[in-house]
Amino acid sequence: MKAYIFPGQGAQFTGMGLDLYENSPEAQHLFEDANAILGFNITDVMFEGTADQLKETKVTQPAIFLHSVILAKTLGDSFKPEMVAGHSLGEFSALVAAGALSFEDGLKLVSQRAQAMQKACELQPSTMAAVLGLEDKVVEDICAQIDGVVVAANYNCPGQLVISGDVSAVERACEALKEAGARRALMLPVGGAFHSPMMEPAREELAAAIENTTFSKPNCPIYQNVTATAITDENEIKANLISQLTAPVRWTQSVQQMIKDGATLFTEVGPGKVLQGLVKKIDREAQTESATLETKTDE
């Protein structure tokens, strides 16, 4: 079975999407629509901007979303997903690609999500850290013993977990995790505690926007971050999308479930190859590939 997976924040690069814009009239049209919807020329930043400009909150999330969704749309008839999943932000790309959300609504929600997260980050100093070489349970138990807010945020693959919370709690957790035998416990260069209770103000703001957006039944099951199970019901999809900002990304569990449900090939749609690397670490036997514009001629 064909599974399509969509990357999240951190996959951006200068020049992203330019090949699509230059080689597909449909892509060009969608990029122009995106500029109009967002009210600024995101294409200028994507195609010619510096790494620092691409890192701006209002740019990063919409840019990755656009790269993924527009690439999926240019694949034409060869894009026949039997299951989809996206890592954090990538879940929005997956929902649009699977027909549960319109392009315009998806982009508006991603833009609102980015701005709501930025506001939440400014309320209190918070951060994230990558923990390598410990079992999930050990990391969870140590985080639970630390004063302050620090929780497991991203279950990326076995032995790689990202924790999230207020700065001092994350620092103390990193020390405790190293003492417990972590190969590394490394602070990440992010401006906020994503997928933690500290995103509650952003969750509330995004909840209102999601509730007011029309969702349709997707063309195939989406394995959502919050549950790591196949979901097709629109109301469940909405509820999980709202919970996602303060709940962990269960990527390991999602991929394991997709394989259990018959996934044989994972195609990453969007910038970079991060998710393919994680899939291989979750299951060495899994087949992975990148979606490319040329796929269209393979029919």
Cβ contact 59:11 at 8 Å: no
Rounded (5°) CA angle 53-58-63: 75
Strand ranges (E), 135-262: 150-157, 160-166, 184-187, 222-223, 230-231
DSSP character string of 63-74:
HHHHHHHHHHHH
- Residue 87 is a catalytic residue: no
The residue annotated as part of the active site, out of 24, 67, 111, 195, is 195
Tell me which amino acid residue 148 is. G
C-alpha distances (whole Å) from 92 to each of 12, 18, 42, 68 are: 16, 21, 18, 10
Point out which residues pair with 111 in neighbouring strands. none
Q: Which residues contact 19 (CB under 8 A, 6 or more apart)?
A: 293
Determine the Cα–Cα distance for residues 3 and 226; give it in Å rounded to an integer. 18
Determine the Cα–Cα distance for residues 237 and 100; give it in Å rounded to an integer. 9
Q: Which residues contact 108 (CB under 8 A, 6 or more apart)?
A: 37, 209, 213
Q: Which is nearest to 47 in space by CA: 11, 24, 20? A: 20
Point out which residues pair with 249 in neighbouring strands. 154
The residue annotated as part of the active site, out of 24, 68, 88, 164, is 88
- Residue 88 is a catalytic residue: yes
The residue behind tokens 């997976």 is 5
Q: Which is nearest to 247 in space by CA: 239, 255, 256? A: 239
Enumerate the active-site residues. 88, 195
